[in-house]
Amino acid sequence: MTNLKAISARLPLIFLFIISFTIYVFTSPRTIFLGDNAEFITAGATLGIPHPPGFPVYVMFAKLFSFLPIDGVVLRINLLSALSASLTLVFLYMIMTRLIRSCFPEIPDLFSRWIAGAGLFILAFSKIFWEQAITAEAYSLNVLFLSVVLFLFIKFLESNRKKWIYLFAFIFGLGLGVHTMMVLFLPVFFLTIIIRSDLRKLKVLTLIFVFLILGFSVFLYLPLRSAMDPVLDWGNTGAGLENFVNHITRSSYDDFGVGPSISDKGLYLVSAFQNIFDQFSVLLLFGFFGAGLLLKRNQNLFFLLFGILLLNILGIVLLRDVKFSFSGEFFYSTYYTPAYAMTAIFTILGIAELPRYILKPVKAGSRTVAWLIIVLMVLPSGLFLFSNFQKNNLLDFKFVENYSAQMLERLDPNAVMILSTEGQETDSMIFSLLYQQSVKKLRQDVTIISPANVFPSAYDYKDRLLKIYGEENISDQRNGLLDFVLTDSEFENDSIYTSFIIPDSYENKGEKSVSNGFLYKVTSSSNLSDLPASAPFAISENDEKILLDSYPGRDFLAYYYLAQAALLVRNKNFEESQQFYIKAINTDNDVGGVDIVSFQRLRGEYLNRL
């Protein structure tokens, strides 16, 4: 009987983990996705060093997952995010049951467990939490570490046993190695520590600091691994202390600049709360009631949870030196994942309070109230599952992997590829090509020149390329890149391809851009019919819908449409070309960009030859 009770008590947690993990695995893509997804896949598969701050803990976990006996390295490493998200729900469940007991002591323990389990599906199936749970990104692992340290801190507050605070400090230090964004939450924990007389002792504070530094020492991975010349060695952190510090402090991103105006900060602040509303819709109203209830019943935990929520938003908005833009708004939305988790906790408490308030006049029994609470949790969870499934079902997504592979396969031997894009497709293109060359070992004979300078074949030109890519004007940048490649004797016998139509100043010198449906070959040939033919690349309807639902996806899609339009112009299929051109305009986040104007010029030149 005792074993049966123990099993029944754990059932809500078991269901929460199994159902969430199963759905995350089912909807996870089997091929690389947008943004820096391919970069993290590459870093994990090759034990490399990705963009600042380096994410050493994530990379080492990803490497371990790359050994799983499952077909496909992409799925293996994506499973790290799926498991991290489901384990986050487990730790939040253990926190949630404590909060429910604190706020609703009359509800039987078993029912409080079912309320916590059913309620957390609201977070599990919210759009961004789910989105981050299915692709190789650091945010799911980051929020897992946050939920772990929060749980350990609450364990300390309950027991006053210092072993929990020391373990908290060590895990917090490790958490910085997942994402340095964790430092934003340090003030709320530190404030709670220093107001307690039992923790203000020098010995205790020293041990807390030692364990914190011990965890933080995981960053030594960066210079140690860099010294071994990995395939992906962003920042060259093994070259000296300055490179190492610059990388972990993200100095290249100017995180602590003061450039943006107050209005820019205000717009980002408004968009942050808009993002929270987008995750939970009208349920957010219950979040206010839940926060008020927790403030009344347990002030310490309220200030801890609300402090994390507030510091997450204010830290991201106030410390970043970025002017407001829709692209910035999109990328910031994932940074608020910890805030979404805290909001979900408040929302669950608020929903749980509603039946108690409604049924109080009729003096309904605690079990009746508990059942009604569970039903109220299940309904929005089911609605979120239904409404977000199509958006987050990436099971059959293949565009980025197939397109990047074909982009390489259609090049001449030992070709040089110059990447310079004006939209948000840049990361997707760079990292997908890096993945193809470094993980899939595809077309390693091709030299790729890109803004990130992550391709080993272009390491020798780093200093010159940094200066060229530093040009704010996209046309000046492209002129500089063409001058660099076309005048360097090392490339004089190589075929040159660009991600853009060359400026008319080069056409006046006899150079032309000829599309192959992916890139533009730079040629001085007067007879374009002598160049190899190239067939259009078809995109599936499913992939097209997924890309249209994403800000960088729309830019990548616009690039694809324009490249296809240029190929069809070359093939003298002007009517179909016009259709792709219109699609590019309707999809592009910057319809007045240089690439649109350049295509109009290219199309006019072909028409003049008729």
pLDDT digits (tens, 9 = 90+) for 209-244: 999 999 999 999 999 999 999 999 998 999 899 999
pLDDT of amino acid 78:
98
Tell me the average pLDDT across 336-342. Answer: 97
In Å, what is the CA distance from 86 to each residue of 354, 393, 424, 478?
A: 27, 17, 30, 45
Tell me the average pLDDT across 308-335. Answer: 86
pLDDT of amino acid 435:
97
Q: Which strand (E) or helix (H) includes residue 344?
A: helix 337-359
Task: Kindly compute the dihedral angle of the four CA atoms of residues 537, 542, 546, 547, in this order, to the nearest 10 degrees.
Answer: 20
Cα 384 from Cα 79, distance rounded (Å): 22
Tell me the average pLDDT across 123-132. Answer: 97
Question: In terms of Cα–Cα distance, which of 152, 42, 27, 35 is closest to 425?
Answer: 35
Cα 140 from Cα 136, distance rounded (Å): 9
* For residue 527, pLDDT beyond 60: no
Structure tokens that stand for 373 in this block:
């609470």
Q: What is the pLDDT of residues 268-297, one digit of tens each?
A: 899 999 999 999 999 999 999 999 999 999
Instruction: Number of helices (H) and strands (E) in the chain: give both, helices first.
Output: 27, 5
Q: What is the pLDDT of residues 536-589, one digit of tens each?
A: 889 999 999 999 998 889 999 999 999 999 888 888 888 888 899 889 888 887
CA 278 to chain centre: 17
Percentage of residues of the chain with pLDDT beyond 70: 93
Cα 153 from Cα 165, distance rounded (Å): 6
Cα 36 from Cα 14, distance rounded (Å): 32
- Lowest-confidence region among 320-324, 373-377, 407-411, 505-509: 505-509
pLDDT of amino acid 592:
60
Q: Which of 252-261, 335-344, 548-557 is modeled with the greatest confidence?
A: 335-344
Tell me the average pLDDT across 200-210. Answer: 91
pLDDT of amino acid 455:
85
pLDDT: is 175 or 102 the higher one? 175
pLDDT of amino acid 326:
76
pLDDT of amino acid 48:
96
Residue 49 three-state SS: strand
Structure tokens that stand for 567 in this block:
């190929």
Q: What is the pLDDT of residues 458-511, one digit of tens each?
A: 777 777 777 787 777 888 888 888 888 888 888 888 999 999 888 877 766 777
Q: Which residues contact 460 (CB under 8 A, 6 or more apart)?
A: none
Task: Give me the chain's average pLDDT, please.
Answer: 88
Structure tokens that stand for 563 in this block:
């490249």
CB 528 within 8 A of CB 445: no
Residue 364 three-state SS: coil
Residue 417 three-state SS: strand
Confidence of residue 325 (pLDDT cuts 50, 70, 90): confident
CA 223 to chain centre: 24
pLDDT of amino acid 447:
92
pLDDT of amino acid 377:
85
Cα 353 from Cα 289, distance rounded (Å): 8
- Lowest-confidence region among 240-249, 403-412, 416-425: 416-425
Q: Which strand (E) or helix (H) includes residue 433?
A: helix 426-438
pLDDT of amino acid 446:
94
Q: Which residues contact 264 (CB under 8 A, 6 or more apart)?
A: 322, 323, 324
Cα 586 from Cα 43, distance rounded (Å): 35
Confidence of residue 104 (pLDDT cuts 50, 70, 90): confident
Question: pTM for this one?
Answer: 0.93
Residue 507 three-state SS: helix
Total count of residues recorded for the chain:
610
- Lowest-confidence region among 39-53, 73-87, 317-331, 429-443: 317-331
The sign of the dihedral angle between the CA atoms of 430, 451, 177, 143 is negative
In Å, what is the CA distance from 304 to each residue of 105, 189, 255, 340, 531?
A: 21, 7, 25, 15, 66
Partner residues linked to 521 by β-bridges = 497, 514
Residue 189 three-state SS: helix
In Å, what is the CA distance from 69 to each residue of 73, 366, 407, 436?
A: 10, 48, 30, 21
Helix residue ranges per DSSP H, 47-108: 56-65, 73-103
Amino acid code (one letter) for 573: N
pLDDT of amino acid 24:
98
Tell me which DSSP letter residue 61 carries: H
Tell me the average pLDDT across 33-43. Answer: 95
pLDDT of amino acid 362:
47
Cα 460 from Cα 453, distance rounded (Å): 10
